[in-house]
Amino acid sequence: MTEPVYLRACPLADVPQDGAHGVEIDGVPVALIRTGDEIFALHDVCSHEEVPLSEGEIYDHTVECWLHGSCFDLRTGKPTGPPATAPVATYPCRIVGDEVYVSLP
Protein backbone atom coordinates (compact mmCIF):
# COMPACT_ATOMS: atom_id res chain seq x y z
CA MET A 1 0.00 0.00 0.00
CA THR A 2 1.37 3.41 -0.94
CA GLU A 3 1.74 6.13 1.66
CA PRO A 4 -0.94 8.81 1.36
CA VAL A 5 0.37 12.05 -0.08
CA TYR A 6 -0.46 15.09 2.03
CA LEU A 7 -0.81 18.39 0.18
CA ARG A 8 -0.45 21.77 1.82
CA ALA A 9 -3.90 23.36 2.14
CA CYS A 10 -3.48 26.65 3.99
CA PRO A 11 -1.99 28.24 7.11
CA LEU A 12 -3.68 27.02 10.30
CA ALA A 13 -4.44 30.64 11.20
CA ASP A 14 -6.84 30.85 8.21
CA VAL A 15 -9.17 28.31 9.83
CA PRO A 16 -11.13 30.00 12.63
CA GLN A 17 -11.69 28.21 15.94
CA ASP A 18 -15.06 26.35 15.81
CA GLY A 19 -15.39 27.58 12.25
CA ALA A 20 -14.66 26.59 8.67
CA HIS A 21 -12.47 27.72 5.81
CA GLY A 22 -12.95 26.73 2.15
CA VAL A 23 -9.95 25.99 -0.03
CA GLU A 24 -9.41 24.42 -3.43
CA ILE A 25 -6.73 21.73 -3.71
CA ASP A 26 -5.98 20.38 -7.20
CA GLY A 27 -9.39 21.61 -8.32
CA VAL A 28 -11.16 19.83 -5.45
CA PRO A 29 -13.15 22.10 -3.09
CA VAL A 30 -12.31 21.23 0.53
CA ALA A 31 -13.88 22.59 3.70
CA LEU A 32 -11.40 22.71 6.60
CA ILE A 33 -13.18 22.73 9.92
CA ARG A 34 -11.70 23.29 13.35
CA THR A 35 -13.40 22.33 16.57
CA GLY A 36 -11.55 22.15 19.91
CA ASP A 37 -8.02 21.07 19.00
CA GLU A 38 -9.20 18.83 16.17
CA ILE A 39 -9.28 19.62 12.46
CA PHE A 40 -11.43 17.95 9.78
CA ALA A 41 -11.53 18.10 6.00
CA LEU A 42 -14.75 17.49 4.05
CA HIS A 43 -15.75 17.87 0.44
CA ASP A 44 -16.94 21.47 0.25
CA VAL A 45 -20.20 20.86 -1.59
CA CYS A 46 -23.39 19.86 0.21
CA SER A 47 -24.72 16.55 -1.15
CA HIS A 48 -28.16 18.12 -1.44
CA GLU A 49 -27.51 21.20 -3.58
CA GLU A 50 -24.53 23.13 -4.89
CA VAL A 51 -23.70 24.95 -1.64
CA PRO A 52 -20.27 25.26 0.04
CA LEU A 53 -20.37 23.60 3.48
CA SER A 54 -17.55 25.93 4.57
CA GLU A 55 -20.21 28.66 4.78
CA GLY A 56 -22.22 26.57 7.24
CA GLU A 57 -22.44 26.48 11.02
CA ILE A 58 -20.28 24.23 13.21
CA TYR A 59 -21.47 22.64 16.47
CA ASP A 60 -21.29 19.23 18.23
CA HIS A 61 -18.98 17.71 15.58
CA THR A 62 -21.56 18.69 12.97
CA VAL A 63 -21.60 21.09 10.07
CA GLU A 64 -24.99 22.49 9.13
CA CYS A 65 -25.51 23.75 5.58
CA TRP A 66 -26.82 27.31 5.77
CA LEU A 67 -29.23 27.05 2.87
CA HIS A 68 -31.53 24.12 3.73
CA GLY A 69 -30.17 22.93 7.07
CA SER A 70 -28.66 19.58 6.03
CA CYS A 71 -26.29 18.35 8.77
CA PHE A 72 -23.19 16.20 8.37
CA ASP A 73 -20.98 14.49 10.92
CA LEU A 74 -17.47 15.98 10.68
CA ARG A 75 -15.81 12.62 11.42
CA THR A 76 -17.65 10.47 8.89
CA GLY A 77 -19.33 12.86 6.45
CA LYS A 78 -22.59 11.00 7.03
CA PRO A 79 -25.79 13.05 6.96
CA THR A 80 -27.25 13.54 10.44
CA GLY A 81 -30.12 15.78 9.41
CA PRO A 82 -32.27 16.19 6.29
CA PRO A 83 -32.81 17.16 3.52
CA ALA A 84 -29.46 15.59 2.50
CA THR A 85 -29.52 11.80 2.38
CA ALA A 86 -26.12 11.09 0.84
CA PRO A 87 -22.78 11.47 2.66
CA VAL A 88 -20.08 13.95 1.67
CA ALA A 89 -16.50 12.76 1.22
CA THR A 90 -14.08 13.22 4.12
CA TYR A 91 -10.33 13.51 3.67
CA PRO A 92 -7.50 12.70 6.08
CA CYS A 93 -5.87 15.89 7.28
CA ARG A 94 -3.18 16.91 9.77
CA ILE A 95 -1.51 19.97 11.20
CA VAL A 96 2.24 20.25 10.64
CA GLY A 97 3.72 23.31 12.32
CA ASP A 98 1.50 26.21 11.38
CA GLU A 99 0.15 24.62 8.21
CA VAL A 100 -2.79 22.33 7.40
CA TYR A 101 -2.16 19.36 5.10
CA VAL A 102 -4.85 17.30 3.38
CA SER A 103 -4.64 13.96 1.60
CA LEU A 104 -6.90 13.60 -1.42
CA PRO A 105 -7.86 10.18 -2.78
Give 12 or 67: the residue with its C-beta nearer to another protein.
Answer: 67
Q: CA-to-CA distance for 94 and 80, rounded, in angstroms?
A: 24
What is the smallest separation between the CB atom of 39 and another protein, expressed in angstroms?
A: 23
The nearest distance, CB 70 to another protein, in angstroms, is: 15
Name the site residues for another protein (rule: CB under 8 A).
Answer: 29, 49-51, 67
Q: How far is the CB of 37 from another protein (least distance, A)?
A: 31
